[in-house]
Structures are given as structure tokens and as C-alpha cells.
Chain A
Amino acid sequence: MSRLWFVPGQLNATESMSTSKKVITREEWEKKLKDVKIRKEDMNKLVMNFLVTEGYVEAAEKFRMESGTQPEIDLATITDRMAVKKAVQSGNVQDAIEKVNDLNPEILDTNPHLYFHLQQQRLIELIRYGKVEAALEFAQEELAPRGEENQSFLEELERTVALLAFEDIKNCPYGELLDLSQRLKTASEVNAAILTSQSHEKDPKLPSLLKMLIWAQNQLDEKAAYPRINDLSTATLEDPAV
């Protein structure tokens, strides 16, 4: 019996969907939300996690004192990590490498991708400042052996060295390597590796929670109309569109 029922039901599904959506009013919604309890300590921990992961060391210190929330790692390590990140961001890659090695020599020894990307960044900096000879020598001595170890490194190396072939390097096909965004990319890779070596998650939890919120809203959209949060920065509840 149920089988016979099922077929027409499915055929009508698309038609009936728009009309059968449940509408939840703002009052009902707020009442439901009120029933959800969230502990203050959890909130504080999320904030602390965000500050620590993103490297806001002074803010984390102040927040620790004011809220009494203990950070998951020694705040001193944040300073070191930030110094490394900053060195890459400002193009002092060699300095960054030495700092990482002082922090923990295992990081670069056990992470060939990261090591290659740092060396590649060094090469990019040499090219950026027009040190052609030094760049060539560096590419040959330091980077070429890595390319022999790994095919994908070789391809990246070729792309980077190709920069030397153009007069106007900013507008050449691989010009994006010279963008600030390339430095930021490398810096965030180092940051993530240091965090992992400290057994810390490399991403803060807060963005994941927001991502989950968006996903849950998208799921719910198919079934109901309800006060949605569209602007994450203000978290305002919008009236349901009926």
C-alpha cells in the first residue's frame, strides 16, 4: 500500500514544496533560541582560542587576566610564532627560517613542502630586488636539488625561475608570485606548521562554528521560512520572507 502512495507523492514534490514550507515567526524563533543554554566559559574559551591561534598575544594576555580564561598553550610561544610570521610577511625569509629552527628544528626537517616554499619565497625576494645573479645561483644550489626529489617542486621552481625571463616582471604570466598575497600564503603555511608542532589546531574554532551556522541555515531553508542571519558581523535576525 505505502508503495503505491509513494509514487504520486514524489511526482508532486516539486510543486508542493513552495507551498508546504513551514513558516516560523520571529517571536516563535526567539522563544526557541532563548531555551538554548550556552555556558559563558565556553564562549570565553572560543574567544581565547581565536586570539591564540591568530596570534594576538597582548589581547590574549589581557583577556586572560580579565576573564580568567587559561590559554591552551604558553603565550610566550605566540610571540615567537608571530615573529616568524612577520619576518616572512616582510620578506626576511632567511631570518624566518633561522627563527623556526630555533623554535623547533624538527619543523623544517620533517616538512619538505614547507621548506621548499620558504626557499622559493627567498628566491622570489631575490628576483623582486633584481639580484639576478644571486637568484640564479640560489636557484641552482638550493632549489634545484629539491626539484630532483619531487616533481611538483620542479614545476613550481620552473615557474619561479621563469620570472627572470621577463623585463616587466609585474605583468608577466607568473607575476602573481611577486604579489604580497604570495608572502601571506607562505607566512600562513609556516604559522600552521608551527601550531601543528605545538599540538595546536592550525585554524581557530570560531570560523568553523560560523561555517556550520551557514550550512545549517542552508539545510533549513529547504524546509522552513524563519528569521535568518544574513550578516554574520552583526548577527541580526531578518524577518522571514513569506
Chain B
Amino acid sequence: MPTLAASNRPEDLAASLSEVVGVENGAALLKTLREVKNQIIGNKTKKLQYLHLGAVPKIVSVLASASSGTADGGDSVIIVQAAAALGSFACGVEDGARAVVEAGAVPHLVRLLSHPNGKVIDAGARSLRMIFQSKLAPKYDMLPEENMRFLLSLLNSENENATELAVRIIAHSCDKREEQNALCDARVLQRLLHLLEGSLSQRDASLASIVAIVKNNSEVARTFASIDNGKSLGALTELIHDRYPRTRYLACMCLIAIGEVSSFAHDLQTKTNLILVLAKLLEDSSEVGDDSPFALLDMIADKEELQVQIVAINVVEKFCNYLEKGSIPPRRLQGILLALAELCSKSEICRGQLISPQFLNVIVDALQHENAGVRIAACTCLKNISRSVKNLCAGRFSNESFIVPLVKLLNDPSTSVQDATLGAICNVSIDFTSKKAAIVKCGGLPLLVQISKSIDPSLRLKSVCALRNLMFIADGTLKEYIISELTISELTCLICDSEHLIQEQALALVSNFINGSIDLIELVFAEDGLIINAVMRQLRSNFATQVSIQGMFLLCNIAAGDESHKEAVLSYLIPLKSDEYAHLLIRFMQSKDKLLRTATVWCILNLTDPAGANSSDRVRRLQDGGIISQIKTMVNDPWLDCKFRVRKVLEQCMIPQSMRM
């Protein structure tokens, strides 16, 4: 007795699927399958509902038993419905694609491709095509001879659906050099080129496959470019102006892939055309508009020549005008902001173009966007715009509306957003006046201090870096406030952090603090010399040159203070009992690093300043420690800055006792 579902409700239909398994219940099964298929096509909610009801494995077993039986007409109808339903599950819903693959549908569907009935082949090929559009589809191993033969038979098939399936399989699966070479040897590129003249979907799939085959493979790219004496490139160049946006986009991707590995399609004019096409595509309402800014980003990343060109042809202006229109889909917004960020990382002109009230409004909105990717992109953009020293000096960031949302992002639940936010705050806080106050006023300081204790080294590093920049030529009140929030013991911990980069930033922070005021130098000796002891410990034990440089610059700054400070530094560097530190100074001056040599000599220069009452005594102690004779060997130091200071030190040491103050 055939079982019919009690109703068309998903629960009943899914239940009856397992009851009617068994081909003998043909009519009822067919009805149920058709109903399920018609309910899920186009309907994401229903797909998920059926997924949870476990419908996919049931349909796969229906397909398996129907296709293993004798191939009479009745079976074919069921196979077609089952295949169509599985294809739909895989379309547009990631979980669906995963379920279909995990239920083992692929081999059954592949078997359908050799079915005598054309409709079954169509249904199987369509279904597989949907599956292979998903990133979750398994890679097809085309290297075994038998598999390659099957793939080629599909590709050369008369059935358009089968051909397109083969093209999509290639686009999805081909990612190894051997596969690229094998496909090239099998003259697949010629076939794909031919398919470019076919239907729209064949053409688009072929373009995606060509990208997969030529990517990072200069030999294959050369072969492609020489097909029919270069007609292949001509065809692609025409397609970048095609009337269908997706085709234009894919043709651009092809030319970019070829241009990256060969001299073809590599001239500036072609690239300029590609940029213009991609820039125009971002106005397209489909997915293409979301992908094109990312393609542009890949294309221009680290390519200064192209970045200059992009600024020259007013693309930045177009981006801004587009962004100011508002209500842009998140992925697209993210892509455009990242592309602009990339441009701003080098081009001062681009930064200048972006410093407008309208664009800052866009940034302010993006900082508060619900999508984390957009927030990160906005921070990155802000970070790179504020790389402009010129604009920072001129205080052109007079609009401070972005500070509040930016500071708020320090509390973001996503670590990546926090990381990007710190990057932006680092640069913004260099601002010579108003931004520092604004950041502090919005409650940014306690947040930065809190993050500097994070277990994530990257967050710790960037927060210390931000604090260091906040400290940079700040006024005394702000400096004191920062230290009181941070506390001396915390600062000491940061100087002794396990990461070299953090140690370096923490030392620089102290340097920025004491810079410019003798009174502030006392900080390093406070609480029984917590900081200075930590600094000396790092100098002695550290093998990271950057840390030693910052440490020496810090000592140099302290030695710029009054007599007691100079005495203290010298007593730390050349203690009466041990000559361990003297060796340290000599080692630094013999370093290959010009900055370390300079910092060390500079420190000694400050110590030997003849204006100091005890300077001759200090010169003597330095002489006794062998320091001066080391300096004498450096009179022709290849680094001018160092050489100049070496000569200055020697001059100061020559001044007789009587002439000293």
C-alpha cells in the first residue's frame, strides 16, 4: 500500500520520504519528491527546515536505489526529481551543500551522467553544477588518467549541461601546477576559448576556468596567449566591455591572472582599462559589484605605479562620490574602504583627496556599522589616511566626530576589530594637539591601559604603541595623567614583556614621557628605580638590537638632564665595582647597526657635556673604562650622524679641566 504524506507540511513530507523509500511505491514517492522540490526551490527557509528534518540523506538513498535499478521510464522520472531536489539543496545555502556532499550524493549524480536518458543526464549535470559552485564541494582529482578522460568526455559532450558541468569542475578543482599543465596539454584551453562564444553561463564558467588554469603559471599563460596567434587575448579584451557585468568582471580576472605571470596584458594602458572597468562595476547591483573592489584591491596591492595611475585617472573621486550616496551593501563597502586604505598607504595625494567632511561622515558611519568587516576596513582606512604627516601637522583632521565611535570600538567584542582600531588610534594620536585631548576626553585612556594588559600580544603591542604616540610631545598634565593611569609598575612589566617589539615600544613611551622636561626624568628613578633597573636589565640581557637602540636612546634622554641624572646614568653604565657594563657600551659601539652606534655615542656625548660640573670626572671614568679609546677608532664611521657625534665627543673630551664650568 503506497503511503501518501498526511499533508504538505515539511514534517509530514520528510517523514513520508523514509516510509516510501523503495521504488515499488513509485507514484507516492514521485509525488512527495516533487512536492519537496517545489517547496525548496528559491526558498532558503524551507531548505533549512528540510535539512533539520534530515531529508537530504533520505533523498540520496532514494536516488541510489532508483538509479541502481533497471533503467526503465518510471525510475528516470524519480531520478530526475531526486537529482533536482538535491541540486536545489546545494544552491545558495552552505549547510545544504555540505549535507548533500556528506550524504554521498556526488558519486551517484556522477553516475547519472552516463545514463541513456538525456533528461536524466541534464538533471544530474545541473545538480552537480550547483554542487560545484559551492566552495564546500569536494575537489575533483583530475590527474588519474581515467578521471581526466571522463572530464574531457564531459567537456566535449554535445549536452550543454554536461559541458558546463565540466567547465565548473575545472574552475572549482584545478589549483595545482600539475593539474594546470595536464589540462593545458589536453588542449582544454582551446576548448574553453571556443566555449566563450557559447551561451552566457558557458561563457562565464569558461572564463572562471581559464583563470584557474593560468593562475601563477607563466608557461600555461604563455600557451594561452599564443593560441590562434593571440586571438585569445583579443577575445578577452573584447569581453571586458561585454554587456553582462559578470562577464566583464570575469574577463578582467582572466587578464589580471595572465598579466601577473607574463608580459602579455601587462602594459599600463591595459591595466588602466582594467581598473576603469572594475571601478565602474562596483556600481552594479549584483554580487559582481561586491567582488570588484576586492579584485581591484588585489590588483593594486603593493604596486606603486598602478596606485599612482589610479589616483591620476580620478578613480578615488569616483569611489568617494559613490560612497557618499550611502546604503551600500556591507561586503562592497568593506572592499571599497580597503581599496582606498591601500591607496592611502602610500599616496599623499590620495590621502589629501579623502580628507573631506563628506568622506569623514562615511567613515564615521562605517565605524559604527553592524558588520565587523566594515568596521575593520574603516579603521584601516582611517589609519592610512592619518599617515599623512603634512595633514597631521596642519591639523586638517579638525573634524573630531570620528574619535567617539573609534574609541568605542576599543570595547568591540571582536579582537580583529580591536586590533584594527588600535592601528587607527596609533596614527591618529600622533596628532600634535587636539586629537590627543579628544581621545582622552572620550575615555580612551583607561581602555588603552586595559588592553595593554591583554594576553593577545598584537593587541598589547598596538595599545602600547598608541600610548607612546599619545605621549609624543603631549603637555605635562596629559603625560602625568597617562602615567598615573598606566602606573609605574605596569610600565615596568611592559618594559620586561616577553615580546621584543613591546619592550621597544614601552622604552620609547618612557623616552617620550621624559622628553622636554627635566622634572619628568625623575620618573625613571621613582619607586626605588623600578624603571631604570628594568631598562638596564633589558640592555644587559637583550639580544634584540631594536630594544637596545630604544634603551640607549632612553639613557641618552636621561643623560640630557641635570648633573644628578648624568651621574646616575654613568654609574649605571660604568659601576665602580664591575666592568661588565663598560663592555656593554663597547659592544654597542662595535655593533653593525648604525642606529645603535649613534644612540650609544649620543648618550656619551650628553655625559661628557662640558657644561656639567662633574664632566671632567665623568670623562676620566669613561677613559678608564676604555670607552674613549673605542670612540677614537670611530672617527671615520660610515654613518654621518654617528661620525659627527663621535667627533663632537672627542672635542668635548679635549677641553682642559680649567676651561670646564
- In this complex, the member of A97, A104, A109, A110 whose beta carbon has the largest number of chain B beta carbons within 10 angstroms is A109
B92 A109 Cβ-Cβ under 8 A: yes
- Asked if A105 is an interface residue, CB under 8 A from chain B, the answer is yes
B45 A109 Cβ-Cβ under 8 A: no
The answer, among B37, B44, B92, for a CB contact under 8 Å with A101, is: B37
A101 B84 Cβ-Cβ under 8 A: yes
Closest to B202 in A: A199
Task: For the complex, give the distance between the alpha carbons of A196 and B91 in Å.
Answer: 19
Given A98-B34, A110-B91, decide whether A105 and B41 contact each other with a Cβ distance below 8 A: yes
B199 A199 Cβ-Cβ under 8 A: yes
- Asked if A238 is an interface residue, CB under 8 A from chain B, the answer is no
Closest to A110 in B: B91
The answer, among B34, B41, B199, B200, for a CB contact under 8 Å with A109, is: B41
- Asked if A106 is an interface residue, CB under 8 A from chain B, the answer is yes
- Asked if A115 is an interface residue, CB under 8 A from chain B, the answer is yes
Residues of A within 8 A of B87 (CB): 105-106, 109
Residues of A within 8 A of B88 (CB): 105, 109
Task: For the complex, give the distance between the alpha carbons of A110 and B204 in Å.
Answer: 15
A residues 91-114 touching B (CB-CB < 8 Å): 97-98, 101, 104-106, 108-112
Q: Mark B188-221, 1 if CB is under 8 A from A, else 0.
A: 0000000000111110000000000000000000
Q: Chain B at the A interface: mostly helix, strand, loop or mixed?
A: helix
Q: Mark A104-133, 1 if CB is under 8 A from B, else 0.
A: 111011111001000000000000000000
- Asked if A68 is an interface residue, CB under 8 A from chain B, the answer is no
B residues 90-105 touching A (CB-CB < 8 Å): 91-92
Residues of A within 8 A of B43 (CB): 115, 142, 145
Q: How far is the CB of B592 from chain A (nearest CB, A)?
A: 61
- Asked if B22 is an interface residue, CB under 8 A from chain A, the answer is no
Task: For the complex, give the distance between the alpha carbons of A111 and B41 in Å.
Answer: 10
B41 A101 Cβ-Cβ under 8 A: yes
B126 A106 Cβ-Cβ under 8 A: yes
Given A101-B84, A199-B199, decide whether A109 and B37 contact each other with a Cβ distance below 8 A: no
Residues of B within 8 A of A115 (CB): 41-43
- Asked if A149 is an interface residue, CB under 8 A from chain B, the answer is yes
B residues 29-57 touching A (CB-CB < 8 Å): 34, 37-38, 41-45
Given A105-B126, A109-B91, A110-B91, decide whether A196 and B42 contact each other with a Cβ distance below 8 A: no
Given A101-B37, A196-B200, A199-B201, decide whether A108 and B44 contact each other with a Cβ distance below 8 A: no
Given A98-B34, A196-B200, A199-B201, decide whether A108 and B42 contact each other with a Cβ distance below 8 A: yes
- Asked if B130 is an interface residue, CB under 8 A from chain A, the answer is yes
Chain A contact-residue range equals 10 to 19
Closest to B91 in A: A109
Q: Mark B122-136, 1 if CB is under 8 A from A, else 0.
A: 000010001000000
Q: How far is the CB of A126 from chain B (nearest CB, A)?
A: 16
Chain B contact-residue range equals 20 to 34
Task: For the complex, give the distance between the alpha carbons of A115 and B126 in Å.
Answer: 19
The answer, among A104, A112, A199, for a CB contact under 8 Å with B42, is: A112
B residues 55-101 touching A (CB-CB < 8 Å): 84, 87-88, 91-92
Residues of B within 8 A of A110 (CB): 91-92
B34 A105 Cβ-Cβ under 8 A: no
Residues of A within 8 A of B34 (CB): 98
Task: For the complex, give the distance between the alpha carbons of A111 and B88 in Å.
Answer: 13
The answer, among A104, A112, A145, A196, for a CB contact under 8 Å with B126, is: A104
Closest to A111 in B: B42
B126 A109 Cβ-Cβ under 8 A: no
B45 A108 Cβ-Cβ under 8 A: no
Task: For the complex, give the distance between the alpha carbons of A9 and B555 in Å.
Answer: 81
B45 A145 Cβ-Cβ under 8 A: yes
A106 B42 Cβ-Cβ under 8 A: no
Task: For the complex, give the distance between the alpha carbons of A110 and B91 in Å.
Answer: 8
Residues of B within 8 A of A105 (CB): 37, 41, 84, 87-88, 126
Task: For the complex, give the distance between the alpha carbons of A196 and B88 in Å.
Answer: 19
Q: Mark B609-627, 1 if CB is under 8 A from A, else 0.
A: 0000000000000000000
Task: For the complex, give the distance between the alpha carbons of A104 and B201 in Å.
Answer: 14
Closest to A115 in B: B42
The answer, among A97, A112, A145, A199, for a CB contact under 8 Å with B38, is: A97
Residues of A within 8 A of B200 (CB): 196, 199
Task: For the complex, give the distance between the alpha carbons of A218 and B87 in Å.
Answer: 51
Task: For the complex, give the distance between the alpha carbons of A103 and B41 in Å.
Answer: 13
A98 B38 Cβ-Cβ under 8 A: yes
Closest to A142 in B: B43
Residues of A within 8 A of B44 (CB): 145, 149
Task: For the complex, give the distance between the alpha carbons of A104 and B202 in Å.
Answer: 16
Task: For the complex, give the distance between the alpha carbons of A98 and B33 in Å.
Answer: 12
Q: How far is the CB of B18 from chain A (nearest CB, A)?
A: 23
Residues of B within 8 A of A108 (CB): 41-42
Closest to A94 in B: B38
Closest to A196 in B: B200
Given A115-B43, A145-B44, decide whether A101 and B38 contact each other with a Cβ distance below 8 A: yes
Task: For the complex, give the distance between the alpha carbons of A199 and B205 in Å.
Answer: 14
Q: How far is the CB of B264 from chain A (nearest CB, A)?
A: 30
- In this complex, the member of A101, A110, A142 whose beta carbon has the largest number of chain B beta carbons within 10 angstroms is A101
Apart from A142-B43, A149-B44, what 16 extra A-B contacts exist at CB < 8 Å? A98-B34, A101-B38, A104-B126, A105-B41, A105-B84, A106-B87, A106-B126, A108-B42, A109-B41, A109-B88, A109-B92, A110-B92, A115-B42, A145-B43, A145-B45, A199-B202
- Closest 7 CB pairs between A and B? A199-B199, A115-B42, A108-B42, A145-B45, A105-B84, A109-B91, A108-B41
13 A-B pairs whose Cβ atoms sit less than 8 Å apart in the complex: A97-B38, A98-B38, A101-B37, A101-B41, A105-B41, A105-B87, A105-B88, A106-B126, A108-B41, A110-B92, A112-B42, A115-B41, A199-B198
